Structure 1
Amino acid sequence: MSERDDEPELDKESFSCETPDLEGGLAEKQDVSKHDEWNWDEDPSNPYNWPTRVKIQQVVMIGALAFTTSMGVSILTPAHTDFMEQFNVSSTVAILPLSLYVLALGLGPVVGGPLSETVGRLPVFVGTTIVGGLFTLGIGFCKSFPGICILRFLAGFCLAPSLAISAGTINETFKQEHRAIPTTIFILMPFLGPGLGPVIGSFVVNRKSWPWTQWTLLFFLIFTMITMLGSRETFHPMIKRQRSKELGIEPLPSQPLSSKIQLFATVALLRPVQMLFTEPIVAFTCLYIACEFATLFSFFAAIPLVFSELYGFGLEDSGLVFLAIVVGCLLGVVTVLACDVFIYQKKAAQLKGQPMPPEFRLYPALIGSIGLPVGLFWFAWTAKASISWASPTVAIMVFAWGNLCVFVTTSQYIVDTYHGMTVASAFSANSLARYVLAAAFPLFTIQMYTNLGVGWASSLLGFIALGLLPVPWVFFLSGKKLRSMSKFQMA
């Protein structure tokens, strides 16, 4: 029996292009919207029917939380030298607070996703933010380096679910035709956070001390909690159960705990590994995204080293270089939206309602794949004392632009390619692969740049990007054939 024969039929709109969401599999089993006594589609408690101001507040909340969580990755990187001096640790060990936080971002959603389907989205948002804030506060007061590492991991683990369940919140609040802007905001925030983190952190460390990076992060978390004050629950099955009780309608029974555990084990643990090794589309997408995501995170160690040694930049000047990542990501968003308006939507109109081939999503990835090696080789051989610092800075911008283009559109390609719970499994594999590599790369970046030099160390990363460049092109040209070979359920 193939995977198609026993796959649960679910609506793929329950998933976003950023993170996996188990909501669809549970929601469909307990749908009470077809009761004759009650029209869920027109009910004012349905998030799709909320006033615009309420929906905007939901977007503000998840955007602020995604930005703050991701900023926590890099805001501590300017404290690298301080850690070495204060705790007498090596350069590699001093990177551990960054790497452990990143690793936790990959593991946290494994617990946070299913939990949000048991107690609701909003309690998970509020609870994990508060606990993550307490761990963040503890980091600032901690006098032990092992303690800092442990608390950083726990803070990242608690804040990580927000990156997973925010995708479900958008899908539950906005209908498909209205998701473009909120989805773009949500995807952009986890890229802006790591780019602005070193900028803020460099000024804080230089003018105060490294504990203030955590207290600064705590201020952002407090602002995020303020945005939660007027937020509402968006998980449809939970709202339906509550609403049915208010109306005196007996809802269909929810799935037993054993079924939920079995579904979670399949979607979040077993099937992602299977798809990673048996599905070429998933395997090469994960490899491509993970390598380039990890390369981006390696810049957190490389940029201060390169610009301080070659150009004599101080801590604050090196921090400002990271604004190139922010600008590149913004240009990437513009590119993705422009391709959607001028290419994808026009082709959709030409098909007159017929299904769109998933490959039409890949236009931004095609051009972005070229920008990745170009940016890295450009950075490699213009980062010299004899050449202006502006040149390698623009190269970083080009890389960040290509990285966002590839990340967003290959993720959209996965959503359009697979069906039902296989989408969540594919994203589970993608998320784990990219965060594990992103946690590992900074640990050897400084040694690599020290031993190989800026030119060849960056070129090595460029050759990786060049070797993976054909991935979206192969999908674009041969995607239909690859999809026909899959044993999993396709869209």
Structure 2
Amino acid sequence: MSDSRPPLGIRNADSIRISGPEFAAQGPDPDFNVKDLEKYLTQDGVITNDPDLGTTGAIDSYLVTWDSPEDPANPFNWPQWMKWAVTLLTSLGGMVTLMSSTMMAPALPAISQDLHTDDARTQLTLSIFVLSFAFGPMALAPMTEVFGRKPVWLSSCCFYILWNTVSGFSQTNEVMIASRFFAGLGGSVQYAIENPVLADCWRPEQRGLSFAIATFLPLFGPALGPIIGGLLTGSVGWRWLFWVLSIFDALLMVLAFFIFPETHADTILHRKAKKLRKRTGHAYYTEHERGGKSLSRVLAVSLVRPCRLLVTQPLIQLMSFYLAYNYGILYIVQSTFATLWIEHYNQSVSVSGLHYIAIAVGCIIAAQVGARVTDRLWQHLQVRAKGETQPEYRVPLMIPGAITIPIGLFMYGWTAQVGAFWILPDIGIAIFSCGIILGTQAMQAYVMDSYPKHVASASAASQLLRNVAGFAFPLFAPKMYQTLGYGWGNSLLAFVFLGVGLPAPLILWKYGAKLRAKGGPQI
């Protein structure tokens, strides 16, 4: 057994002498199972503080941590360009996923004609993609906490590329629905890694800055998708909607394979410990491995964590309800926006897609302004609290979002109802988009700060109902607008949002800490 001192980043070197022959017969194992370490600790082993103990049948156990607070391997200490590269790559992946969810909107009449389906079944091909978002992250998010962000992201995106390409070759509505659902499962990985990657790389006081890109590009996708969708459908046909996205995502994955580093701290330290075990024969292990659980046990616990958080954490439940309505009305608006211009303003499919630029403008303004405000507000509240921080410091930014969403809905609905000049509904939809982005930024940051140990699982749990609503709400949207018209239809959505959206920030600001405490310890 080597008598070398532990390197930096190894805490409290303890040598464990084993009196029995079991370990001596095995010899040092490069892939030492920490479960064996726990077994030796509780049997005949004698724990000493002598790291130089060199007797037959002795193992040296070292806890692997960061070398120092400035350890360059820690994602918090990466150069700014590397952080931005990681943020940009994941954001582009999110943009592809959300473009896929709305890119079909201008092409729905053409798809209905080619596949011989009615409007309701054709609408299902659009919405089924969003439904799969509800289930995919519940499994993929905890897997990123076990296997790391990068392998789960790359493998899931390959799954998306496969099934999204199949969608372009669909000859029946049944094949289209099935392929869209499976493509959505693969694409939903963005909900499993985007927030966790931000939490891995950016400190809380920098989080607003990272959100300027991280939330803008994905939420820009639903606006950009129909623009491109309208142009492609009117020129080369609707099948190219899917093939273009598959090609773009494939190129993105090739790029990510070479330049995207692992960001999950526990995974980075685990790999460090594994290399040290292989090189030295000592029982190096991480804090995460201290329990000595097998991979199957760790995976089983991780896979049920999002469900347990949703069931046991009142804060997650409240956030889920708020996000669900937020997302539901977003998809109502986006899935029916093109129909307004085609059927009521008698515009072509290509021109109808251009109106989604208004949504993009609202996203850009809110993402850039909101991101900077949230960092300044965080710093101001931190100074006022004499250095203390709370997740509730993210809540104030939810209030302008809760106000602008209904204002935008009222303006959009009634200007569309009376057939006003086209710029007026577009202004209303831009105001609405501003509110959506502001609210989403604040809510995502709040969840990240509230559950720092399990950001991926907490984000997935908070988004389950959101994605179910994104699937279900557009299904009744055409009937709602046929019955109530755009004026009263959007007014109904706005009035309900006032009842949901305005109280939520006040409840979180006053009772957020109590709700977290009531939920008990993170699991």
1:397: which partner in 2?
430
2:344: which partner in 1?
310
1:4: which partner in 2?
none
SS in 2 for 1:306: helix
- What TM-score do you get using the length of structure 1 for normalisation? 0.84
State the shift of 1:463 in Å. 1.6
Preserved contact between residue 144 and residue 456 of structure 2 (Cα < 8 Å): no
Superposed, which structure 2 residues align to 1:159-238 within 5 Å? 159-228=187-256, 229-238=258-267
The one-letter code matched in structure 2 to 1:391 is L
| Higher relative strand content | 2
Alignment partner of 1:301 out of 305, 318, 335: 335
Preserved contact between residue 302 and residue 449 of structure 1 (Cα < 8 Å): no
Superposed, which structure 2 residues align to 1:345-424 within 5 Å? 345-356=379-390, 358-384=391-417, 386-417=419-450, 420-421=453-454
Preserved contact between residue 372 and residue 398 of structure 1 (Cα < 8 Å): yes
The one-letter code matched in structure 1 to 2:379 is Q
Task: Tell me, yes or no, if structure 1 residue 268 matches structure 2 residue 306.
Answer: yes
Separation of aligned partners in 1, 2:451 and 2:149: 25
State the shift of 1:294 in Å. 0.8
1:445: which partner in 2?
477
Deviations 1:21-57 (A, max 9, x none): xxxxxxxxx9x99848982655544434444443333
Preserved contact between residue 397 and residue 438 of structure 2 (Cα < 8 Å): yes
Task: Tell me, yes or no, if structure 1 residue 471 matches structure 2 residue 509.
Answer: no
1:20: which partner in 2?
none
SS in 2 for 1:92: helix
Structure 2 CA distance for partners of 1:42 and 1:373, relative to 1, 3 Å = closer
Structure 2 CA distance for partners of 1:377 and 1:321, relative to 1, 3 Å = same
State the shift of 1:372 in Å. 1.2
Preserved contact between residue 371 and residue 398 of structure 1 (Cα < 8 Å): yes
2:358: which partner in 1?
324
The one-letter code matched in structure 1 to 2:267 is M
Separation of aligned partners in 1, 2:269 and 2:505: 44
Structure 2 CA distance for partners of 1:255 and 1:187, relative to 1, 3 Å = farther
Task: Tell me, yes or no, if structure 1 residue 290 matches structure 2 residue 324.
Answer: yes
Superposed, which structure 2 residues align to 1:32-181 within 5 Å? 35=63, 39=67, 41-181=69-209
User: What 5-or-longer segments of structure 2 have no aligned partner?
Assistant: 1-37, 39-59
Separation of aligned partners in 2, 1:40 and 1:341: 26
Preserved contact between residue 310 and residue 385 of structure 1 (Cα < 8 Å): no
State the shift of 1:133 in Å. 0.9
Preserved contact between residue 383 and residue 455 of structure 1 (Cα < 8 Å): yes
User: What 5-or-longer segments of structure 1 have no aligned partner?
Assistant: 1-29
Structure 2 CA distance for partners of 1:354 and 1:127, relative to 1, 3 Å = closer
Separation of aligned partners in 1, 2:326 and 2:356: 17
1:24: which partner in 2?
none
Task: Tell me, yes or no, if structure 1 residue 250 matches structure 2 residue 250.
Answer: no
RMSD of equivalent CA atoms: 2.9
Separation of aligned partners in 1, 2:372 and 2:149: 32
Preserved contact between residue 378 and residue 394 of structure 2 (Cα < 8 Å): yes
Separation of aligned partners in 2, 1:113 and 1:353: 32
The one-letter code matched in structure 2 to 1:184 is A
Preserved contact between residue 373 and residue 462 of structure 1 (Cα < 8 Å): yes
Give the percent of matched residue pairs that are identical in Structure 1 and Structure 2: 27
Structure 2 CA distance for partners of 1:100 and 1:243, relative to 1, 3 Å = same
Deviations 1:290-314 (A, max 9, x none): 1121111112332122222322221
Greater RCO, 1 or 2 (C-alpha within 8 Å, sep 6+): 1
SS in 2 for 1:251: strand
Structure 2 CA distance for partners of 1:412 and 1:179, relative to 1, 3 Å = closer
Separation of aligned partners in 1, 2:72 and 2:452: 30
The one-letter code matched in structure 1 to 2:191 is L
Preserved contact between residue 305 and residue 446 of structure 1 (Cα < 8 Å): no
Separation of aligned partners in 2, 1:212 and 1:119: 34
The one-letter code matched in structure 2 to 1:142 is S
Separation of aligned partners in 2, 1:309 and 1:121: 44
The one-letter code matched in structure 2 to 1:381 is W
State the shift of 1:391 in Å. 0.8
Structure 2 CA distance for partners of 1:453 and 1:440, relative to 1, 3 Å = same
Count of residues in Structure 1 that have an aligned counterpart in Structure 2: 455
SS in 2 for 1:488: coil
